[in-house]
Amino acid sequence: MPLSRSVVLICIVSTAVSTACAQAIFSPRASALGAYGPLVQDARGFTANPAGLVGMKDWDFYTSTYAATSSPGGGFVFSGFGIGKKFFGSNALALQYTPGTTLDVIQPSSFIVSGLNFASSREITYTEPLAVAYAYRAADQLSFGLQVRMQTERITDIQFSLRAINDSLNAVVPVQDVSTRTTWFADLGAHWKPLANVSLSALGRGLLRTSGSGIPSSYDSYTLPVERALEIGAAWTVTPSLTVAGEGSTIGRGTFGVEWVPGFNIAARGGLYAGDGGGRFVDAVGLGAGWSYLFLEADASYLLFTDQSVRKGTINISSFDPSGIKDIGISPFTGNTASISIRAILGSMREGLVKIEGVEMTGGIYPSAYQSLAYRPIGKVRVRNTSLRPVQARASFFLDRLMDAPTESQPVSIQPGASADIPMMAVFNDRVRGVPAIVIREGTVSVSAAPEGEEDDHIRTRILIHGRNDWDGSSASLRYFVTPDEPEVIRAAREILLNEKDSLAGVPAEMGPLRRAKVLCDHFKGRLVYVSDPKHLTEFVQYPTETLVSRSGDCTDMTVCFASLLSSVGISTAFVDVVPPAQPEKSHIFFLFDTGLSPKFGDRVSSNPKRYIVRKSKTGQETIWIPIESTAITRGFEEAWTEGAQQYFDDVEIGLGVVQGWVHIVDVY
Amino acid sequence: MKTASIAAALCLAVGANAGEIVVQKLQGDVKVRHGVTEVWVTVAPGDVLRPDDTMKTGKKGSAVIVLPSSAEGSGSTRTFVLPGDVIVDMSDVRALTPEELMLKLTMEKVRASSYQWKSDDLQIPSAAVVHGADRSSDQVMRESDPAAGVLQINGAHVLFANGFYATCALRGMEVFRLYPPLAKQFKSRLMVAEALEKANLRGEAVNEYAAIAKLDGISPGQQTLVHGRIEALRKQ
């Protein structure tokens, strides 16, 4: 019998069961740890705090799958993929596409019309399929991240209506009514490392949002709540292999996580969740493991909820209340979930083993002493071992144009998590001696701990290059102005001696150095003028050739000049640097030269032992040294000797200057 | 001349000014050498000597000088008698602290390694040998006349007798360096060792006694004396 036009509704029965299905957090590492905000360091689960994206090396690709083990028939399904890229050193972009991040609620129902049973259902689907983030490292310890998340709400309702099939027949026809709304959220995060082993994170969720109006008001009860939230987290690296983290949110959610990296490229993780809508304090426990090999990294996790009553895929319809859904990934309806992900790090994928914490330059570069900088540190770089094993770290320094290649230091052993200072050397080329006046240049400090020498970190640092005639005031470095092998110096010394060859003839060989020194000094009697340094920021010293040409200079210039002349004819010299403690402004420098004579011939030098000094020569033999006041050479050798001897006796013997440390004797050659 | 003598007498009567070394009394041949000059000049009572002066007495000469007391600011003085045949540097007539003496001796050792300051420099191995010593003259050099050294050692004995142990030890070592034959004199070496001991530098004293024990030609009695001193010092 055909149905009459007037349809009689006999009975309507709604089932008492809804089906809910939700996927856990996209990244297994994140779901295992729970408190993930302060631990974001790459594209995995970056939505926990995008500021951590600056921890990426270069390219990051990953994909994940999951299985809802609480739901009947749940196998592994595709969850999504992500991609991240770091660029310009301190910027990072990331995108994740997660079609599997859904929460489906199906409300089945049936009714009977005239003895016919009609099945119907209402399906509510919440998804968060897309997120895009940008991160910027504002300082070494501070970074910010901005992300935009897309969220959709879709309500599919099947309604029945009578449709006339012919004049006498009406049929009940199902009509599908779909309502969809897309909402965009903007979140802002920050990541700060106040200490080397402490990370703090903050994320403002839903600070901005924009949504469409595709859902009729009749479905308002199915829309997700819109709440702004602030998530604050902290992570503490207790030991290089153990990190603990905690995170809390203004929407009443708290998490705690531990990550243990015992070595062998594996990691074990655990986490606790509270405030996610279950009836117990701890709603869920996360467990996970990670393993890495070369550029691949695999993570697995299992999220176990303590209250399974509404997480088995079916719930009483009266239990479904979307207002309790704070996060689609972890909601009151999320069931136990197993997740697996694979991550590939491409591009500059090598993990940095060490990181530069700071650079300290010891001072400016004095071109006069540039050769000594090949083995004397110009500064030090503080390097931290960020890896999990001891490393041999090396530092290198490079200054464009003034160096031909970077100069690498000796390796320094650093334990995991520890820091060490590595001295930096610099092999400059001859161009540095052409720097006329003080300049500031920028050099590059690089560190590496890899056997292959790949760079782990680098930093630019400013360095002061003094002018070629600048002197740091240290008598030890004054010797670098002494140039006995300069052709002009050698020629000058030999020409002077040649002119006096007759007076030198017949002198006992042992007395030769003393006589040659006398001839050389006497040659300049009346031919030199004492002139003070030009007004200058630093001490100014002339090279011997400059003094020989200008025939003028101060005590330093003359001391350097005569030390060079004497050294060029094989006579050893030493500087005597006097800085009177009561009057440091009256510091003075003169020199000694080695006669090569044994002390037993002291009478041959002078009947007054105060006129000479017995000290060890380069060969370790005690010999007689003569003090010379270089500025008095303008009055001849004897005067210069007398003044030098008197000064030496007053300052060293009576004043005990050497003993008290205000007189320094520095051997030159 | 008479006026000068009166002035000197007046000066001596009132005493030397604080910090000055004043010649009080002279007998026989006494001369002074100023600073680093090489000339000995006569000296007269009342003359003020500088710390860089050196005084020499002839065989029958002697001198009494007035020194400022070691106690700074006390204004008190003490006399110092130079017998005949001595040379004494005025800079030695002072008491050095054990630390100063120790540092002085240490500096001697530092000199021995004065090139070690270059240890951080790049060490370039040198295979070069200097050939061709200057043989243009075959004159033989004479060693210094030890007579002057003897006078200085005598002066060191005077320093010892007056309690200036530190300068005595330093002066003795310096003389041994300049006049090696004098370093073989047992009496002088013993004086230096005792001076070091009295200056509370026991380690250096032991070393000096040990060096004396190795001297050629010392008698068994002297050996016993030296070893006895070493033992005594080691027990302290």
CATH of the domain at A418: 2.60.40.10
Residue A20 counted as domain residue: yes
Identify whether residues A322 and A231 lie together within a single domain: yes
Lowest pLDDT segment from A449-458, A484-493, A580-589: A449-458
Q: What is the edge-to-edge ordering of all strands in the sheet holding B87-89?
A: B40-42, B30-33, B54-57, B87-89
Residue B65 counted as domain residue: yes
* Residue A340: predicted pLDDT: 93
* Residue A310: predicted pLDDT: 65
For B179, which residue in chain A has the nearest alpha carbon?
A600
What pLDDT, in 10s, does the model give residues A457-478?
899 999 999 999 888 888 888 8
What pLDDT, in 10s, does the model give residues A137-169?
998 789 999 999 998 988 888 777 777 777 777
E strand segments, A369-434: 379-385, 391-398, 407-408, 412-414, 419-424
Residue B230 pLDDT class (50, 70, 90 cuts): very high
CB pairs < 8 Å spanning A and B: 106
**Token duo for residue A221:** 């009860």
Identify whether residues B185 and B205 lie together within a single domain: yes
Residue B114 counted as domain residue: no
Measure in Å the smallest separation between the Cα of B81 and chain A Cα atoms: 21
Residues of B in contact with A511 (CB under 8 A): 141
Look at residues A468, A501, A516 and tell me which one is the last residue of a structural domain: A468
Best of B36, B38, B40, B139 to substitute, by most chain A Cβ atoms within 10 angstroms, is B36
Identify whether residues A326 and A384 lie together within a single domain: no
Position B115 pLDDT exceeds 50: no
Best of A474, A504, A572, A600 to substitute, by most chain B Cβ atoms within 10 angstroms, is A600
- For residue B134, what are the contacts with CB-CB under 8 A and spacing of at least 6? A509, A512
The verdict on a CB contact (< 8 Å) between B36 and A642 is: yes
Alpha helices in chain B (DSSP H): 2-14, 98-112, 146-161, 165-178, 186-198, 202-213, 220-235
Residue B57 counted as domain residue: yes
The verdict on a CB contact (< 8 Å) between B52 and A654 is: yes
- Mean pLDDT, all residues of chain A: 85
Residue A293 counted as domain residue: no
Highest mean pLDDT among A93-107, A333-347, A396-410, A448-462: A396-410
Residue A568 pLDDT class (50, 70, 90 cuts): very high
Identify whether residues B80 and B100 lie together within a single domain: no
DSSP A533-557: PPS-SSEE---HHHHHHHTEE-HHH
Identify whether residues B154 and B185 lie together within a single domain: yes
Identify whether residues A365 and A503 lie together within a single domain: no
Residue A551 counted as domain residue: yes
Measure in Å the smallest separation between the Cα of B202 and chain A Cα atoms: 20
Identify whether residues B195 and B218 lie together within a single domain: yes
**Pairing relationship of beta strands B40-42 and A622-628 according to DSSP bridges:** unpaired
For B40, which residue in chain A has the nearest alpha carbon?
A608
The amino acid at A12: I
Cα–Cα distance for residue pair A130/A148, rounded to 1 Å: 8
Interface check A604 vs B, CB under 8 A: yes
Measure in Å the smallest separation between the Cα of B170 and chain A Cα atoms: 11
* Residue B13: predicted pLDDT: 35
Lowest pLDDT segment from A42-46, A238-242, B106-110: B106-110
Compute how many other C-beta atoms are within 10 angstroms of the C-beta atom of residue A418: 14
Position B155 pLDDT exceeds 90: yes
Measure in Å the smallest separation between the Cα of B102 and chain A Cα atoms: 9
Could you tell me the sign of the dihedral formed by the alpha carbons of B2, B4, B8, B13, in that order? positive
Smallest CA-to-CA distance from B53 within B96, B9, B19, B92 is with: B92
Identify whether residues A384 and A476 lie together within a single domain: no
Cα–Cα distance for residue pair A522/A103, rounded to 1 Å: 102
Identify whether residues A391 and A449 lie together within a single domain: yes
Spell A457-495 as b/e; 16+ CB within 10 A means b. Answer: bbbebebebbbbbbbbeebbbbbbbbbbebebbbebbee
Residue B181 pLDDT class (50, 70, 90 cuts): very high
Regarding predicted confidence, which is higher, B70 or A256? A256
Cα–Cα distance for residue pair A351/A388, rounded to 1 Å: 11
* Residue B46: predicted pLDDT: 92
Identify whether residues A378 and A400 lie together within a single domain: yes
Residue B2 pLDDT class (50, 70, 90 cuts): very low
A602, A607, A656 ranked by CB distance to B100: nearest: A656
Measure in Å the smallest separation between the Cα of A649 and chain B Cα atoms: 8
Q: Which residue has the tokens 């604080």?
A: B18
What pLDDT, in 10s, does the model give residues A339-391?
999 998 887 656 678 999 999 988 788 998 888 888 889 999 999 998 877 88
8 A C-beta contact, residue A235 and residue A244: yes
Identify whether residues A317 and A408 lie together within a single domain: no
The verdict on a CB contact (< 8 Å) between A506 and B139 is: yes
Number of domains in chain B: 2
For A624, which residue in chain B has the nearest alpha carbon?
B178
* Residue A226: predicted pLDDT: 78
Q: How does DSSP classify residue A257?
A: E
Interface check B174 vs A, CB under 8 A: yes
- Please give the average per-residue pLDDT across A171-190, as a whole number: 86
A599, A603, A610 ranked by CB distance to B177: nearest: A599
As a three-state string, the secondary structure of A66-120 is: EEECCCCCCCEEEEEEEEEEEECCCEEEEEEECCCCEEEEEEEEEEEECCEEEEE
Domain that holds residue B208: 95-108+148-236
Residue A335 counted as domain residue: yes
Identify whether residues A476 and A464 lie together within a single domain: no
Residue B116 counted as domain residue: no
Number of domains in chain A: 3
* Residue A1: predicted pLDDT: 39
Identify whether residues A101 and A199 lie together within a single domain: yes
Look at residues A448, A468, A488 and tell me which one is the last residue of a structural domain: A468
Interface check B114 vs A, CB under 8 A: yes
Interface check A610 vs B, CB under 8 A: yes
Interface check A664 vs B, CB under 8 A: no
Identify whether residues B99 and B175 lie together within a single domain: yes
Q: Which residues pair with A613 in a beta bridge?
A: A625
- For residue A173, what are the contacts with CB-CB under 8 A and spacing of at least 6? A160, A161, A162, A163
Identify whether residues B23 and B82 lie together within a single domain: yes
Identify whether residues B86 and B196 lie together within a single domain: no
Compute how many other C-beta atoms are within 10 angstroms of the C-beta atom of residue A175: 10
Residue A630 counted as domain residue: yes
Identify whether residues B79 and B157 lie together within a single domain: no
Position B6 pLDDT exceeds 60: no
The verdict on a CB contact (< 8 Å) between A616 and B137 is: no
Residue B49 pLDDT class (50, 70, 90 cuts): very high
Measure in Å the smallest separation between the Cα of A431 and chain B Cα atoms: 21
Interface check A601 vs B, CB under 8 A: yes
pTM of structure: 0.60
Residue B140 counted as domain residue: no
Residue A561 counted as domain residue: yes
Q: What is the CATH number of the domain that holds A532?
A: 3.10.620
Look at residues B91, B120, B135 and tell me which one is the last residue of a structural domain: B91
Identify whether residues B101 and B215 lie together within a single domain: yes
Position B3 pLDDT exceeds 60: no
Residue B228 counted as domain residue: yes
Identify whether residues B62 and B77 lie together within a single domain: yes
Position B32 pLDDT exceeds 90: yes
Residue B118 counted as domain residue: no
Cα–Cα distance for residue pair A30/A27, rounded to 1 Å: 5
Domain that holds residue A455: 361-468
For B100, which residue in chain A has the nearest alpha carbon?
A659
Residues of A in contact with B112 (CB under 8 A): 616, 620
What pLDDT, in 10s, does the model give residues A623-667?
999 999 988 998 999 999 999 999 999 999 888 898 888 998 988
Q: By percentage, how much of chain B surpasses pLDDT 70?
A: 75
Look at residues A440, A468, A496 and tell me which one is the last residue of a structural domain: A468
Interface check B54 vs A, CB under 8 A: yes
8 A C-beta contact, residue A247 and residue A232: yes
Helices then strands, each counted (H, E), chain A: 10, 35
Measure in Å the smallest separation between the Cα of A519 and chain B Cα atoms: 17
Identify whether residues B99 and B193 lie together within a single domain: yes
Nearest 5°: the CA angle A448, A454, A458 is: 50
For A603, which residue in chain B has the nearest alpha carbon?
B144
Cα–Cα distance for residue pair A95/A61, rounded to 1 Å: 10
Cα–Cα distance for residue pair A169/A83, rounded to 1 Å: 58
Identify whether residues B69 and B103 lie together within a single domain: no
Identify whether residues A497 and A542 lie together within a single domain: yes
Position B98 pLDDT exceeds 90: no
Interface check A600 vs B, CB under 8 A: yes
3-state secondary structure of A474: coil
Residues of B in contact with A666 (CB under 8 A): 117
For B132, which residue in chain A has the nearest alpha carbon?
A509
* Residue A5: predicted pLDDT: 41
The verdict on a CB contact (< 8 Å) between B38 and A509 is: no
Identify whether residues A241 and A319 lie together within a single domain: yes
8 A C-beta contact, residue A274 and residue A281: yes
Interface check B124 vs A, CB under 8 A: no
A602: number of CA atoms within 13 Å, CB side?
26
The amino acid at B36: V
Could you tell me the sign of the dihedral formed by the alpha carbons of B174, B175, B181, B183, in that order? negative
Q: By percentage, how much of chain A surpasses pLDDT 90?
A: 43
**Helices A512-523 and A555-568: angle between axes, nearest 10 degrees:** 140
Identify whether residues A522 and A571 lie together within a single domain: yes
Residue B19 counted as domain residue: yes
Position B11 pLDDT exceeds 80: no
For chain A, the distance separating the N- and C-terminal CA atoms, rounded to the nearest angstrom, is 127
